[in-house]
Chain A
Amino acid sequence: MEKDLVVKTRVGVIDCDVHHAVPSMAALYPYLSERWRDYVKEHNIKSLEPNYYPRGNPLSARPGSEPSSGALPGSDLGLLQRQVLEPWNVQYAILHCLYGVQMIHNEDLAVQVAQAVNDWQMAEWLEKDSRLRASIVVPSQNPQRAAEEIHRVGKHPGFVSVLLLVRSEKPYGKRYYWPIYEAAEQYGLTVGIHAGGVTGYPIMPVGWPSHYIEDYVSHAQAFQSQLISLVSEGVFVKFPRLRVVMMESGFTWVPSLMWRFDKNWKGLRREIPWVDRLPSEVIRDHIRFTLQPLDEPPKPEILLKVIEQMGSDEMLLFSSDYPHWHYDEREDALPAGLPADLERKILFENARAVYRF
């Protein structure tokens, strides 16, 4: 198995979903102005760590990913290098910082923390390891100011993506968010939508579930309705070069959604006349999915058929989702039994086509 892995990773994989963690608010002090440092201290804001990966939860951290200091998994560059970059011979790893910026009600504070997180990402990650890339954290509470943040740092070669969280205040197709897409397209950045975010709407369209497992599983449904919104509202007609990457979304649901959406489009397309071709075609052209967590079918050959049903071998991007724990052995990050050319596409070719490498 080890030899096999070496062969597979000789060229170097591109890991499209890796998480680094802001250790505490204090770590951002150097990147905040005096006014906002004072604000954070006076209001006793010690942490904006989100609760969607509870620390005691086995899904949140792979065994061994917690630094010996007891700090948050993903907060130590050295450990991340040893556990992600080296074993997989990673060409590029794309970091997505899930600090709770998008949930702050105070828009001014959100803008400041987003800036601080991005400055922290540049100084403490991107400039320390040339294999690292990152997504720009934006205050999506205010799309105009989110676009300003993209303009501020969009030229930095380390940023390859703009980060949005799947649970937003409105569906992402709405014109309200278009300034973000306009700016992303201008800098050749993908828009990455990642699991997470809490904005007041229940995760389920039927109300609040009791358990974490329900919340986590039903993220797939949140992604599905965001995808429906992006296509229906004509985002890709307005921004034809825009690429959206759905991360930690699962993807085995994509074929059934395409069928349903295409069928409904045939009956109802007069309502959205700007969508002038099958929704499945738009999805295949503009939307990509990261690999983990793999909602693994009981047999490996079923997965191949699912990928065939998606109608494209260019939609999947390798991800470890480090430090989240989805698979046990490193080799299991990639499904077994993939044909060599598909494996190559998933490991790095598809990502190369989507991100500006």
Chain B
Amino acid sequence: MSDVKVETKGSKRKTGLPFIDCDIHNEVPSPEALKPYLSQRWRQYMEMVGTRTYHGYAQHIPYPKGNAGGTRQDAWPPNGGIPGSDLNFMREQLLDPLNMEIGILNCLYRVAEQLNDEFSAALARAVNDWQMAEWLDKEPRLRASIVIPYENAEFAVEEIHRVASHPGFVQVLFLPRTREPLGRRKYWKIYEAAENHGLPIAIHFAGLGGNAITSHGFPSYYIEDHTTMAQAFQCQVISLVCEGVFERFPGLRVALLEGGFAWMPSLMWRLDQQWKRLHAEVPFLKRKPSEYIREHMRVTTQPMEEPPKLEYLMQAIEWLGSEEMLMFSTDYPHWDYDSPELAFPAKFPIELKKKIFYDNARAFYRFG
């Protein structure tokens, strides 16, 4: 968004609230950067076939974003790379001036969307090795999500076991546009592995999926694709709860990243209401759906909800029924970045802000 330039290089935060950023994007600069981490077989495959996902473009994407890369215009690093690809520039623009204690990287490289499961698994290994070597081992303030080929649970579990012992990895990453709803048994082995390693799973906003973004096909515009993503998140919540995932994996924690949160109370009410009428269909659910959500799920704040009045924002948070559910995120370097200085209205209660900025994420990720 070119007309809202919120944080320029070197600007200092005014408040001293400790601060955990639950959503930063480290970008693979180009497929070339992954080649050192791919075996000969998959380097060859990448050169011969390359990436094949759910759409038909070689260079383009079906819903072109509002600007190049969908990033902040000031986030292009001086080395000529793409936003989010240069650690030094990220330090200079984000970590240092914001005085950030911990930042969690979510690498959105298209791994699980690959149509070839084995290539998908090879890419996941490469991306995670790249994350360890180029980010985690170089910058102690950073943590990262394990990228997995989640459409093939067997391969995904292998990858979790391979890298979970690295202290920099703090969760397992999904994108919301899965082939099947995430509550389905197809994915349960992944939850089992995550639970065994004490890792939460995260679901992060991202376009492109094998299924249309609506129950009625593909819309025309990026603004629709972007706005409708909240409905994809809502459906994942419905599925995870109603399929009994949290009964089967009582230790599983789920973070919803960049999906919004103001819709959550309404969804809780609707689920609870229908559960009253239809619980006989899902007898394995022992509690109201909203209770599973409050206990197991967390949501990040960016892009911050902006109702016309502050009191509406406070109501939406109150209706979550928990002050522990919200965790702050900037979404650096994307266009709809939230600044920790400006994302919250001036009159936002300071105690709650402390929880959102720090305490909730620290408890959820079990940071010391």
Contacts and interface: CB of A to CB of B under 8 A. Distances in A.
B307 A250 contact: no
A58 B215 contact: no
Nearest to A305: B315
Contacts of A270: 66
A173 B216 CA distance: 11
A2 B80 CA distance: 75
Contact of A220 (B232, B270, B282, B315): B270
B307 A259 contact: yes
A170 interface: yes
Interface residues of B, number: 67
B1 A267 contact: yes
Interface stretch (A30-38, A70-78, A207-215, A333-341): A207-215
B224 interface: yes
Interface in B197-233: 209, 211-224, 226-228, 230-232
Interface stretch (A4-12, A221-229, A342-350): A221-229
Interface of B: 1, 66, 176-184, 209, 211-224, 226-228, 230-232, 234-236, 238-239, 242-243, 260, 262-263, 265-267, 269-271, 273-275, 277-278, 280-282, 303, 305-308, 312, 315-316, 319, 335-336
B113 to A, nearest CB: 13
A259 B305 contact: yes
Contacts, number: 242
Nearest to A203: B215
Given A208-B180, A255-B307, A295-B266, A202 B215 contact: yes
Interface of A: 57-59, 166-174, 199, 201-214, 216-218, 220-222, 224-226, 228-229, 232-233, 250, 252-253, 255-257, 259-265, 267-272, 293-298, 302, 305-306, 309, 311, 325-326
Given A229-B219, A232-B223, A233-B220, A213 B270 contact: no
Given A211-B243, A268-B223, A296-B269, 7 more contacts: A59-B277, A205-B232, A209-B183, A256-B262, A260-B227, A267-B1, A268-B226
B216 A222 contact: yes
Contacts of B212: 201, 205
Given A256-B262, A259-B307, A250 B242 contact: no
A208 B210 CA distance: 12
Contact of A204 (B215, B243, B260, B267): B215
7 interchain residue pairs of minimum CB distance: A256-B262, A221-B231, A295-B270, A225-B214, A204-B235, A222-B215, A252-B266
Given A217-B274, A221-B234, A225-B214, A206 B223 contact: no
Given A217-B270, A302-B319, A228 B227 contact: yes
A232 B176 contact: no
Given A59-B277, A255-B262, A172 B216 contact: yes
Given A268-B223, A296-B273, A302-B319, A256 B305 contact: yes
A210 B216 contact: no
B65 to A, nearest CB: 9
A201 B214 contact: yes
Among B216, B218, B243, B307, max chain A CB count under 10 A is at B216
B45 to A, nearest CB: 27
Contacts of B217: 168-171, 201
Nearest to B269: A295
26 contacts: A59-B274, A171-B218, A202-B215, A205-B212, A206-B180, A206-B181, A206-B239, A207-B178, A211-B282, A213-B282, A217-B274, A228-B228, A229-B224, A232-B219, A252-B266, A259-B262, A267-B66, A270-B66, A271-B66, A271-B221, A272-B223, A294-B273, A309-B307, A309-B312, A311-B308, A326-B277
